[in-house]
Amino acid sequence: MMPQQFATEGLQEMMPEERLDRLERITKLMVKAGLRARQQMRLKNEERFGKLVEAQTRLIDPQTHTDQRLDALIDIIQKGRNGKSSS
């Protein structure tokens, strides 16, 4: 016999109240599994978000330094020196 046949035969022998109780238990298990999966996903996302924040924080100082150097280069070009001596 196939597993589906076993399951079908078992359901046919159950009383309607037993079938309803069984469906309720299965539904509760599915809801619990869904909630558990959501919680795990939330924790994983919080961890990823934390890593992203750390990475962005580490980039603040180097970005500030790059901005300062770029500002200095722009000033040189605007003054017309373009890296040449003023003699």
pLDDT at 1: 47
pLDDT tens digits for range 26-58 = 999 999 999 999 999 999 999 999 999 999 999
pTM for the model stands at 0.51
Residue 52: closest CA among 44, 41, 62, 40: 44
Which of the four pLDDT bands, split at 50, 70 and 90, describes residue 78? confident
Q: In sequence order, what DSSP letters do the residues of 20-49 get, joined into one string?
A: HHHHHHHHHHHHHHHHHHHHHHHHHHHHHH
Q: What is residue 14's predicted lDDT score, i.e. its pLDDT? A: 81
